[in-house]
Amino acid sequence: MIQSWLNSKFSNRQRKSLLMEKHFVLGTPLDAPLTENQDSIIFACGCFWGTEKAFWKLPGVFCTAVGYSGGNLKNPTYNQVCSGRSGHTEVVKVSWDKSDIDLSDLLKLFWECHDPTQGNRQGNDIGSQYRSAIYTSSPQQTELAISSRDNYQRLLTSNNLGIITTEIKENEPFFYAEKYHQQYLAKPGSRPYCSAMPTNISLGHFNGANYKLPDKVWTEFNWSESHCVLRSDINKIKI
């Protein structure tokens, strides 16, 4: 109990320091308030290192940060999340400019970059902290997320693949992960690791979709190539 309290206090101090930091690649503040033409959403696709890299590369995304959501403990530490007892999953908070990219583009990357049918695991990573999830911030986001899920399920079913286990909830708290996890794969000395197992099924059109990114962007992600996100550079994709 004392150790849990100390971990929480350490997390609070670290969080205040962390929010003064800027994105290691994009140079934007990690916790800048959103403007009228900006929005954010939270995705969980297994280990958050590779997930974050994939999203920061998208044109129109101006900030990403890794953290923990979906659990029952305030300000959890990495060790607490990995124990499975806090109930959190590893997530990436994605913030974007609505004039340059649509939520449907982000959902396309989400569904295609991992296997959303694996339950409490992703590849070799096993545990509730690796479950697939979308945590929305408005009814409109929730509606679009569900629409994309239903369409992707039809595509998976037609290809004899499994049932989507992705958790979709609204207004789940987001807690920033420790500083060393932020933009981890862009930092010198990082371990190139990713357990994501894409299904190689493209999302395509779904009810409510309003894609804004050109097809050229999606050619940068070759999901048939093992760990294609790890093999790519850290820079944002140019249109």
Q: What is the pLDDT of residues 9-27, one digit of tens each?
A: 445 556 556 667 899 999 9
Q: What is the pLDDT of residues 133-157, one digit of tens each?
A: 999 999 999 999 999 999 999 999 9
**Catalytic residue, candidates 47, 113, 194, 228:** 47
Cβ atoms of residues 169 and 133 within 8 Å: yes
Q: What is the pLDDT of residues 69-108, one digit of tens each?
A: 999 999 999 999 999 999 999 999 999 999 999 999 999 9
* Spans of all domains in the chain: 2-19+37-231
Cβ neighbours of 127 (radius 10 Å): 15
Q: Looking at residue 1, what is its pLDDT?
A: 35
Q: Which CATH architecture has domain 2-19+37-231?
A: 2-Layer Sandwich (3.30)
Residues 6+ apart with CB under 8 A from 1: none
47 is catalytic: yes
Residues 42-63 have a mean pLDDT of 97
Q: What is the pLDDT of residues 53-69, one digit of tens each?
A: 999 999 999 999 999 99
Helix (H) or strand (E) holding 109: helix 103-112
